[in-house]
Amino acid sequence: MDTLLDGTTMLAALAAGEVSAEELTRAHLDRIAGPGAALNALVAVDTDAALAAARTVDADRAAGRPLGPLAGLPITVKDSVDARGLPSSHGRPDDRRLATTDAPAVRRLRQAGCVVLGKTNVPVWLASMHSENALFGATVNPWDTTRSSGGSSGGSSAAVAAGLGVADLGSDLAGSLRVPAAWCGLFGHRPSNGAVSKLGNLPWPDGGLLEPMVSAIGPFARSAADTALFSEALFGAEGIEAVGWQLRLPPARVSSLTGLRIAVWLDDPAAPVDPEVATAVRGFADRLADAGAQVAELVHPPVGGPGDLQLYLRLQSAEIVHGFTADDLAAADDRYHQSVWAALRDLEAQRAATARWAETFTGVDVVLCPAVSRVATTYTPAMTAPETVEVDGREVPIDSVCDWARLSSLGRLPATVVPLGPGEVSGLPVGAQLLGAYLEDRTPLAIARLAEEAGLVGFRRPPGW
């Protein structure tokens, strides 16, 4: 079977007996070992365990036993996320460990019937838009192997875009899911904070019980339908809270593009956007309007500017520092120590941003904005990340390309990434994000699916794949 079909199509073929889970798994393993090897996306492959899991799915199907909603779909898992029996790392050999249990997100996907194929590459500390490290080398973009597939979930995005797995997980603190999704032409969903457990994810301490306050984890996929299916499998309370807490997300606000209220946000003094990206986002907004949506400008964004961007950078630093060892702390600059001191004040400000966004969403259903400021950046000749890149005619630090993800995360909002197709100048994928109200994840997911069904957005095979 063609491994670049989406998971929804594969599930139908599995249910009809057109392909077995074992055959599907072997097809993906062959692709990983064959053309996929050129991408350097996989850092560990668990062939025997994957085939055994696939055979179990086939046996359960043959016996008429209940199957999970994703039964038989082969997936890969970001290297920083624990998958039982496989090593985990955040790109540093000193911290690499063998996972003895699944992270909650991985456990939920296995319970839904997914077959775990292996682990995908990340940058050191998950702290770069280029997924390269001294341990495993550089992962490249299937659209252009001189370019980055994004970070920190760049191995994940390259694997899904090239058909090495049906889906993968992207952890997202500063755009680590949204940037790779956009640069590889994928769908993805960064859930509302707290909707999906992020336990069992480096660089936080092994066995840690504290849920990250700022970042989130969600799925990459090749269709909006798949993204919604995987998100539903991931949603839910975990850990000691699950004894008494339940997550009851509201249904989507809309069931049609007709009458959809959408606000376009393209201008911020702290986050420039390349004209190529702005043109693609505007074009999508125009297509939504032609389909019956009510499109307007977001005149007064609830967040924005240098002050809010600095607030998010402090929140980001405060979360990162929790995973530091004593040696890491000794080597860190004052920024990290100051961020810990001010963390509670900044968390209060983050809640205030959530409240301001809630007011905005009384008048609109979703906000459309860039996922990242430009298309995929190139590696240096040494296959390392460049220090600066060009955005809208200016040289800016490479880290700043994800500032749209930072600003839109300040309100803890759900964000569904949609692929808009190749840009008019570069011919490389451009992505946008649909922001929903806090804990209303099903609304941007539903709108992405409606747009996909209407032919307004969709995954395209990378050239040659």
Asked if residues 373 and 277 have their Cβ atoms less than 8 Å apart, the reply is: yes
d(CA 434, CA 368): 5
Helix (H, G, I), strand (E, B) or coil at 229: helix
Instruction: Output phi, psi for 115, to 5 deg.
Output: -105, 120
Rounded to whole angstroms, the Cα distance separating 239 from 234 reads: 14
Give the pLDDT score at 326: 63
Rounded CA separation 408/312 (Å): 10
The pLDDT value given to residue 341 = 55
Q: For residue 394, count CB atoms less than 10 angstroms from its CB and return exposed for 0-12, middle for 13-18, buried for 19 or more.
A: exposed
Tokens standing for 414? 């759900």
Which distant-in-sequence residues (6+ apart) come within 8 Å of 370 by Cβ? 266, 273, 277, 278, 281, 404, 431, 432, 433
Residue 321 pLDDT: 72
| pLDDT of amino acid 325 | 67
Q: Is residue 461 part of a domain?
A: no
Instruction: Give the span between the Cα atoms of 442 and 229, in whole angstroms.
Output: 11
- Domain assignment present for 166: yes
How many contiguous H segments (helices) and E segments (strands) does the chain have?
A: 14, 19
The first and second tokens of residue 242, run together, are 């699950």
The residues, ordered by sequence, that sit 6+ positions from 123 with a Cβ below 8 Å of its Cβ are 91, 130, 131, 132, 133, 151, 152, 154, 385
Q: Are residues 375 and 428 in contact, defined by beta-carbon separation less than 8 angstroms?
A: yes
78, 156, 157, 409: which one is catalytic? 78
| pLDDT score for 259 | 97
Max CA separation in the chain (angstroms): 62
**Rounded to the nearest 5°, which phi and psi values hold at 32?**
-60, -45
> What is the 3 state secondary structure string of 280-308?
HHHHHHHHHHHCCCEEEECCCCCCCHHHH
Q: What is the pLDDT of residue 319?
A: 85
Q: What Cα–Cα distance (Å) separates residue 431 from each residue in 146, 276, 403, 452?
A: 19, 11, 14, 14
What is the C-alpha separation between 266 and 288, in angstroms, rounded?
16
Helix (H, G, I), strand (E, B), or coil: what is residue 340? Answer: helix
Tens-digit pLDDT string for the chain (465 aa) = 999 999 999 999 999 999 999 999 999 999 999 999 999 999 999 999 999 999 999 999 999 999 999 999 999 999 999 999 999 999 999 889 999 999 999 999 999 999 999 999 999 999 999 999 999 999 999 999 999 999 999 999 999 999 999 999 999 999 999 999 999 999 999 999 999 999 999 888 888 888 988 999 999 999 999 999 999 999 999 988 899 999 999 999 999 999 999 999 999 999 999 999 999 999 999 999 999 999 999 999 999 999 999 999 989 988 877 666 667 656 665 555 555 556 778 999 999 999 999 999 999 999 999 999 999 999 999 999 999 999 999 999 999 999 999 999 999 999 999 999 999 999 999 999 999 999 999 999 999 999 999 999 999 999 999
Helix axes 334-341, 305-321, angle to 10 degrees: 100
3-state DSSP call for residue 260?
coil
Backbone angles phi, psi at 369, to 5 degrees: -150, 170
Residue tagged active-site, from 89, 148, 176, 408: 176
Range of the domain at 155: 7-238+247-453
- Please list, in sequence order, all residues whose beta carbon lies within 8 angstroms of the beta carbon of residue 243, skipping any fewer than 6 positions away: none
Within a domain: residue 465?
no
Measured distance CA(161)–CA(156) in Å, rounded: 9
- Is 459 part of a structural domain of the chain? no
DSSP three-state, residue 178: helix
User: Which of 314, 285, 294 has its CA nearest to residue 253?
Assistant: 294
Under a CB-based contact definition with an 8 Å cutoff, are residues 157 and 180 in contact? yes
- Residue for token digits 């007011």? 359
Q: Is 78 a residue of the active site?
A: yes
Q: Catalytic: 152?
A: yes
Does residue 460 sit within a domain? no
Q: Does 463 map to a domain?
A: no
DSSP H helices in 34-114: 47-63, 104-111
Q: Which of 152, 153, 192, 223 is catalytic?
A: 152
For residue 176, what is the domain's CATH number? 3.90.1300.10
What's the total number of domains in the chain? 1
